[in-house]
Every structure is written in C-alpha cells, then in structure tokens.
A = this chain, B = another copy of it.
Amino acid sequence: MRVFGIDCGTEITGFGVVESDDSGRESRLTCKALGAVRLAKAKALPERLLQVYTELCGEMQRWQPDVVAVEEVFYSVNAKSALKLGQVRGVALLAAAACGIAVAEYAPLRIKSSVVGYGLAKKEQVQFMVARLLQLKELPEPPDAADALAIAICHIHTAQTMMQQEGMR
C-alpha cells in the first residue's frame, strides 16, 4: 500500500509518501518521497493556491498513491486562520479528487498517538519517531514534511489494524 500524506499549512504544506510492504509477517515501511510546498508571500493568493495545486498534483501523478491522507482540522484556531487554512486544504483535497485518489482523514491526536504513542507529542518527537519508523538517516525536514509522513504512517497503521480485526473474525 502506498500512502500520500499531506500536512496543510498557510505558508508551508508538507507532503510525504510512505509504502508498506505487507508480504512478510511484519510490514516494513519505506519513505518514497518527502517535501514541502513553500508559498511565496509576494504572490497573490490565487497564484499561491495554483502553486499548491500544481505541485501536489504533480507529486501525486508521480507517486501514484492508493490513498491520500490528511489531518482533520483542529477547530480551536480562530476564524481568520481557519479560513486561510481552509483555502489551502480545499485545494489539497481537490488535487486528490482531480487525480482520482480516495482521501482519508485522521484527527491530530490519533496521528501523534499512532507514531509517537502519545497524543500530545511535540514536533521534534514526531520527527524523531518518523525517522525511526522509516529508517531514515536524518530527521525529516521541514517539520511539515515529517507531519505529512506521520499522517501517512497513521493511515497504514489504521488499515493494518482493521485488516487484523477482519482476520480474527
């Protein structure tokens, strides 16, 4: 299974591609790609959104994931921030739909628990654990790309748990 994780942000949107090899008894996770779309503040908003869309569509077409995984949104932010984040998130979800890829959403606490085993983990802990789970030699940078990889790992863990539960029935 290949999963494309996206961590939407108004300035930096991280992405990461994780593949699970489920042939053996224990699945092995591999990082196929990671990166971030950094938005030029000088550009007008529609141009910035076009940049996010074009780059994400390009990466999805390149990596042909089975699923796109995104974070559910945390509503404690204020309305102004929520609107700005929503604009980027809408474009990211559109990119998945335009590429014909299904989207799965996970709550922030669940993503962190899935990777660090602790829902209130800090950014550095997420980076460290993502590097360990994917056997990376360096910490994934920027932290937004690490978060995107964590979202993809969360989807794989969730899918594996569901398959195991199906198997036990």
A: residues with CB less than 8 A from B are 44-47, 49-50, 53, 73, 75-91, 93-94, 96-98, 103
Contact = CB atoms under 8 A, between A and B. Distances in A.
Chain A residues touching B, majority SS: helix
A79 B83 CA distance: 7
A47 B103 CA distance: 10
Contact of A86 (B47, B50, B85): B85
A46 B94 contact: yes
A100 to B, nearest CB: 10
A90 B81 CA distance: 13
Contacts of A75: 79-80, 83
28 contacts: A44-B103, A45-B93, A46-B93, A46-B96, A46-B103, A47-B97, A49-B93, A49-B94, A49-B97, A53-B94, A73-B83, A75-B79, A75-B83, A77-B79, A79-B79, A80-B82, A82-B82, A82-B86, A85-B86, A86-B86, A86-B87, A86-B90, A87-B87, A90-B90, A90-B91, A91-B91, A91-B94, A94-B94
Contacts of A98: 50, 53
Contacts of A88: 90
Nearest to A51: B97
Choose among A76, A87, A89, A94 the residue with the greatest number of B CB atoms under 10 Å from its CB. A94
A94 B50 CA distance: 5
A73 B96 CA distance: 26
B49 A90 contact: yes
